Structure 1
Amino acid sequence: MSNQKTVPNAVNFLIGGTAGMAATCFVQPIDLIKNRMQLSGTKTSTMKIVSSIIEKEGFLAFYAGLSAGLLRQSTYTTTRLGVNSWLSEVASKDSHPSFLLKALIGSTAGCIGAFVGTPAEVVLIRMTADGRLPFEERRNYKNVFNALVRIIKEEGILVLWRGTVPTMGRAMVVNAAQLASYSQTKEILINTGYFKDNTPLYFVSSMISGLVTTAASMPVDIAKTRIQNMKIVDGKPEFKGAIDVIVRVCRNEGLFSLWKGFFPYYARLGPHTVLTFIFLEQMNTMYKTYFA
C-alpha cells in the first residue's frame, strides 16, 4: 500500500496507457478477427474468418486499424487504469477495500475511460470491419486521424460518440470483472503460498481475470460493435439501441450468438490482460526502483 503511494497519479496514467498500447501491438490481429465474427450475422468460425482474410486481403490486413487501436489505448486505457489507481489509493488510505468496492472502483474507472475512448473505438470498429465489405462500400480510411477528420466532415462530430452508452456499459462490466477479479485472484494465489509477487503470478491472475471478463462482457460487446459499425439508410439507423441489437441477435441468430467469437475474444482479452498487467507491474517496479 505504501509502494502504491510512491507513484504519482500522472505517472499512473502514463504507465497505464503505455502498457495498453504495448499489449495492443501483440493482439491487434485477434481483435480484428473478433470484430469480423461479431459483424458476420451468420454462423461462422475463427478458421473461416482467418482463411478468408488471408485469401482476399493478405497477411498485413490483420493489422488493419492498428493506429486506431493504439489511439484507443492511449485514451481509454490511460484514463481507466489511471483513475482506477487513483481511486484505489484513496480507498486504501483508511482500510483494505472489499471486493465489492474494488468492483465499483473498476466499473467507475471503465465508464470514464470508455467515454474518453469512444471516438477511437468507433474508428477501430470501422477500420477492422472495412475489408469484409464489397470494394465499393468500403470507407477506406488511411489511418485513425484521417478517419476522425472524415467522420466529422461527412457525418458530424457526434457520430464519434455513437454507441457511447453500450460502450460505457461494456466498459463497466469489463473493468468491474477484470480489475476486481485480477486484484482478488492475486490476493488468493499469494495466500496459498505457492506464488510470489512476480511474473508467474501476474500471468495466472490475468488469464483467470480474462476468462471471467469474457463471459460477462460479450453480449454488451456485440451490441456495441454492431451499433458502431452500422450505416444510416434513408435517414434511419440500422439499430435503435443496444437492447434492439441483443433482441434481434437472439431472434435471428440464437441466444448463444451473443457469445459469438468467444474464443478470439478471450484469445484477445486474455493475452491483452496478461500483457497489460505485466507491462503495468514492470513499469511500476521500474519507476519505484529508479525514480521514486
Structure 2
Amino acid sequence: MKKKPYPLWLGGIAASVAGLCTHPLDLTKVRMQVAGDKGLLLSMRKTVANEGILGLWGGGTGTLLRQMTYSMMRFAIYDTVKAKIHTDSSPMPVWKLVAAGSVAGSVSAGICNPGEIIMVRMQGDKAKPVEKRYGYRNSIQGLYRMAREEGLATWYKGVGPNVVRGLTMNVFQIGGYDVFKAEIIKNNLLADGPVCHFMASFAAATAAATACAPADVMKSLVMSSQGAGPGVFTLIKDAYANHGVKFFFRGWTPAWIRLQPTTIITFLVLEQLKGGVDRYRKTGGTLM
C-alpha cells in the first residue's frame, strides 16, 4: 500500500523555525553583499551598534513570508515530483532526485520571487544611507509599496538569478540531503535517526553554499537596487572586471555559517514533524 503523503505545510513550518533561528546570519550575509561590509563579526557588531541587538532580526517578517511561501512550496513540489517519477520501492536514483530538486527549486523560486525580494530589501535596508532606505514597516506593507511606487513588475525583479539559485539550492540541499542520508544508511555508517540526519544535512549545506554562491551574490545585488537598474549580465561583467572571480563568492563564509544551522535545523525539525504525523496516524488520526 502506497504511503499517504505528508501535509504540504510541514516544510514551511520547519523552514520558518530554522529561518528565525538563523536570521542574524542571513541578514549579515545580505549586508556584506549589498553594502560591502567587511567581515562577518565586524558587520554584526556594526548592526548591533547602530540598531541594538534586535537589529539582527531586522526584516523578520520578510523571512517568515518567504519561508511560508517559497520553502513550503519547494518541499511540497519536491515530494510530489518524486512520487510521480518513482513509483516502485527500489532506491531512488540520483538523477531522479536531481530532476525533482530542479523542478521544485525553479518553479517555487519563480512563483515566490516577491517574498524573496522583500526579504532581501528589508534585511539590507538599514545598512544603506538614510536617503536610500525603503523603510518598509513589514513584508505585506512592503509588497504593497513596491507595487504602488515601482510597479507590479518589481515583484519579479531579479527573478532570473533567483530561479538559478533556487534550482541549484534545491538540487544540492534537498536532493543532496536525500543522497547523503541514503549513502550513510546504505553503508551502515549510522542508523536512520537524528545523528544521521545531522550529518546528511551538514554535508548538503556545504555543497549547496558553494554551488549557490555566484547566483546568490547576483540575486542580492539586483533585488536590492532601486528602479530598473543595470541588467544581470552588465552586473556580472562589471563585477568581474572590477573585482575578479572572488567577487562571486563574497559573503560565502556567512552564507555557509548560516546555511549549516538553517539546513540542519530544517531537516531535524522536518524529520520530527514527519515522525509526529506517523505516530498520529498510527493512533487512528485522519486529519493529517
Contact kept in structure 2, 1:249 and 1:257, CA below 8 Å = yes
What residue number does 1:225 align with?
220
Measured in 1, the distance between the counterparts of 2:57 and 2:280 equals 35
Q: 2:44 pairs with 18, 41, 50, which one? A: 50
**Structure 2 counterpart of 1:231, which letter?**
Q
| 2:272 pairs with 1:282 | yes
- How many positions carry a matched residue from both structures? 281
Secondary structure at the counterpart of residue 291 of structure 1: helix
What residue number does 2:141 align with?
146
Measured in 2, the distance between the counterparts of 1:278 and 1:47 equals 27
1:41 positional shift: 4.3
What residue number does 1:183 align with?
178
TM-score, normalised on structure 1? 0.92
Q: Summarize the alignment of residues 11-160 of structure 1 with structure 2, pairs less than 5 Å apart.
A: 11=7, 13-41=8-36, 44-94=38-88, 95-160=90-155
Question: What is the identity percentage for the equivalent residue pairs of Structure 1 and Structure 2?
Answer: 27
What residue number does 1:7 align with?
5
| 2:191 pairs with 1:196 | yes
1:192 positional shift: 2.6
Secondary structure at the counterpart of residue 238 of structure 1: coil
Secondary structure at the counterpart of residue 16 of structure 1: helix
| 2:246 pairs with 1:252 | no
Contact kept in structure 2, 1:79 and 1:113, CA below 8 Å = yes
Contact kept in structure 2, 1:7 and 1:287, CA below 8 Å = no
Contact kept in structure 1, 2:35 and 2:128, CA below 8 Å = no
Measured in 2, the distance between the counterparts of 1:276 and 1:131 equals 28
**Structure 2 counterpart of 1:160, which letter?**
W
Contact kept in structure 1, 2:70 and 2:108, CA below 8 Å = yes
Contact kept in structure 2, 1:219 and 1:246, CA below 8 Å = no
Deviation string for 1:234-255 (max 9, x for gaps)?
A: xxx33212x3222222211221
Measured in 1, the distance between the counterparts of 2:158 and 2:277 equals 37
Deviation string for 1:90-144 (max 9, x for gaps)?
A: 2231353311221111011011111222101111111111111122221111000
Structure 1 residues not aligned, in runs of 5+:
none
What residue number does 2:260 align with?
270
**Structure 1 counterpart of 2:44, which letter?**
V
Contact kept in structure 1, 2:177 and 2:203, CA below 8 Å = yes
Structure 1 vs Structure 2 CA RMSD: 1.5
Measured in 1, the distance between the counterparts of 2:176 and 2:139 equals 32
Deviation string for 1:6-26 (max 9, x for gaps)?
A: 234xx1x21111111111110
Contact kept in structure 1, 2:35 and 2:124, CA below 8 Å = no
Structure 2 residues not aligned, in runs of 5+:
283-288
Change (3 A) 1:61 1:148: same
Measured in 2, the distance between the counterparts of 1:255 and 1:238 equals 22
- Which runs of 4 or more aligned residues in structure 1 lie more than 6 Å from their structure 2 counterparts after TM superposition? none
Contact kept in structure 2, 1:123 and 1:147, CA below 8 Å = yes
What residue number does 2:230 align with?
239
**Structure 2 counterpart of 1:91, which letter?**
I
**Structure 2 counterpart of 1:90, which letter?**
K
